[in-house]
Chains A and B, each alone.
Chain A
């Protein structure tokens, strides 16, 4: 089916998702569960990956950027700006599209093929809103926090790796990460993570919600969800960078 069909279907689903909830207390309970499941449970992997990436970026900067004409604090500065501008927003969102996106698509897909979604509809519940809205809010809400955690862990990774490799001293590294700081970079990246958070939850939810068939189709939907979300994240990264830096 064509691209326009899916785009139309996606927006129609979003209209249903953002309708007034049946009972706020149930939705809030569901939201807290989703924040824990999709957000809090991702902190560990985000931290581990960010520490390693911070270390790797530091080493790459050391081996490729540093020369006698450049100050060594550029290692810390480069690591900080790389983390803030791209890694902790875009790359981390790509990773979350894999972890959280596939989780959402397969969960909703399984619910669809086992008629759990139909049974909600028969009860008179807006299943799209009940199942998807808390996930979208949870991921959008938690994304900026994951971004901040990622930047912090990445800087710590650089702080460990830089002095250990002998490339930079702790003092120089700390000077680097506090030099020429542009607060707008953080605002820019938080705006990006909010948009990416919406995509990470809503696109896989669309893929999973309309699954037809069996387990094989759920697997396919999950894969498609990750691929499409990743492409959309990169597309919106391009658009937002152009718009916000203009």
Chain B
């Protein structure tokens, strides 16, 4: 479980995160949603420690990151897996080397054990016969899946995904969502996903945090989100004609 308390962050005098508190449950897919520029990525990067926060606390299973020494932080980071928006695979390494990289750096496993683990991870994300290809030689969807494989290579306790569906077609997006949800449940990981993809919200939103202009505006789950009276959230969720139509149909069904 990850708990954030009263987080504030500003850049050059501009408040980007304003007093945000939330609890992200273990074994569930926790979504952070909001418009572009609302502060989602800053929040996620603050939680993982890429940005120093100005105020507040971040607790990983009760361990406060702000009072950790360098070594403790280093050990905590080895419990974290992260999937970046564009995958962030290392260009100079092959698919296989990318997934093996965290194991090479932090484990004393033999090559045979590492190969077994990397094959397991690649199988888990349905990557086959691409071990020796470079990131530039595979598709965007595959890159995301390899990034997930790399993120789970060291059996992380916490998984962070920054817009895992951006730039993907709807079918691949659904596959990626399903994969993240399965992995979260299977390995009992605390997963936090940044997204503005409404399909993800509907499919995998166990716990949803909506932020707008750096503030927490709403918290709930995928079944509650369509019945909320929160104006900002409604404006975000029902922005497209498709979702407006969806709401009308849902209301008609409920009326009947």
Residues of A within 8 A of B (CB): 22-23, 26, 110-111, 114-116, 118-119, 121-125
Q: Is the CB of B88 within 8 A of A116?
A: yes
Which chain B residue has the least Cβ–Cβ distance from A30? Answer: B92
Q: Is the CB of A124 within 8 A of B50?
A: no
Decide: A115 near B86, CB < 8 A? Known: A26-B105, A124-B74: yes
CA distance A119 to B88 in the complex (A): 7
Decide: A124 near B85, CB < 8 A? Known: A22-B105, A116-B90: no
Partner of B84, one of A110, A115, A124: A115
Q: Is the CB of A124 within 8 A of B78?
A: yes
Q: B220: CB under 8 A from chain A?
A: no
Which chain A residue has the least Cβ–Cβ distance from B86? Answer: A114
User: What 8 pairs between A and B have smallest CB-CB spacing?
Assistant: A124-B77, A115-B88, A119-B88, A115-B84, A124-B74, A122-B82, A124-B78, A116-B88
21 cross-chain CB contacts under 8 A: A23-B104, A23-B105, A23-B106, A114-B91, A115-B84, A115-B86, A115-B88, A116-B88, A116-B89, A116-B91, A118-B45, A118-B84, A118-B88, A121-B77, A122-B77, A122-B80, A123-B101, A123-B102, A123-B105, A124-B74, A124-B76
Q: B75: CB under 8 A from chain A?
A: yes
Q: What A residues does B73 contact at CB under 8 A?
A: 124
Q: What B residues does A110 contact at CB under 8 A?
A: 91
Q: B209: CB under 8 A from chain A?
A: no
Q: Is the CB of B105 within 8 A of A118?
A: no
CA distance A111 to B77 in the complex (A): 20
CA distance A111 to B78 in the complex (A): 21
Which chain B residue has the least Cβ–Cβ distance from A126? Answer: B74
How far does the Cβ of A111 sit from chain B's closest Cβ, in whole Å? Answer: 8
A interface: dominant SS: helix
Which chain B residue has the least Cβ–Cβ distance from A110? Answer: B91
Q: Is the CB of A122 within 8 A of B48?
A: yes
Q: What A residues does B86 contact at CB under 8 A?
A: 114-115
Q: Is the CB of A122 within 8 A of B50?
A: yes
CA distance A124 to B82 in the complex (A): 12
- Other than A110-B91, A121-B77, give 9 A-B pairs with Cβ distance below 8 A: A22-B106, A111-B90, A111-B91, A114-B86, A116-B88, A116-B90, A121-B50, A122-B50, A124-B78
How far does the Cβ of A185 sit from chain B's closest Cβ, in whole Å? Answer: 39
Q: What A residues does B91 contact at CB under 8 A?
A: 110-111, 114, 116
Q: Is the CB of B50 within 8 A of A118?
A: yes
How far does the Cβ of A197 sit from chain B's closest Cβ, in whole Å? Answer: 22
Q: What B residues does A119 contact at CB under 8 A?
A: 82, 84, 88
CA distance A23 to B101 in the complex (A): 12
Q: Is the CB of A114 within 8 A of B77?
A: no
Q: Which of B83-118 contact A (CB under 8 A)?
A: 84-86, 88-91, 101-102, 104-106
CA distance A119 to B160 in the complex (A): 11
Q: Is the CB of A123 within 8 A of B104?
A: no
Q: What A residues does B45 contact at CB under 8 A?
A: 118
CA distance A115 to B194 in the complex (A): 16
Q: What B residues does A124 contact at CB under 8 A?
A: 73-78, 106
Q: What A residues does B84 contact at CB under 8 A?
A: 115, 118-119
Decide: A125 near B88, CB < 8 A? Known: A118-B50, A119-B82: no
Q: Is the CB of B85 within 8 A of A115?
A: yes
Q: What B residues does A23 contact at CB under 8 A?
A: 104-106
Decide: A123 near B78, CB < 8 A? Known: A23-B104, A23-B105, A26-B104: yes
Q: What A residues does B50 contact at CB under 8 A?
A: 118, 121-122
Which chain A residue has the least Cβ–Cβ distance from B154? Answer: A123
CA distance A114 to B86 in the complex (A): 7
CA distance A23 to B104 in the complex (A): 9
How far does the Cβ of A66 sit from chain B's closest Cβ, in whole Å? Answer: 52
CA distance A26 to B101 in the complex (A): 10
**Considering residues B74, B77, B85, B88, which has the most beta carbons from chain A within 10 angstroms of its beta carbon?**
B88
How far does the Cβ of B40 sit from chain A's closest Cβ, in whole Å? Answer: 15
How far does the Cβ of B70 sit from chain A's closest Cβ, in whole Å? Answer: 10
Q: What A residues does B90 contact at CB under 8 A?
A: 111, 116
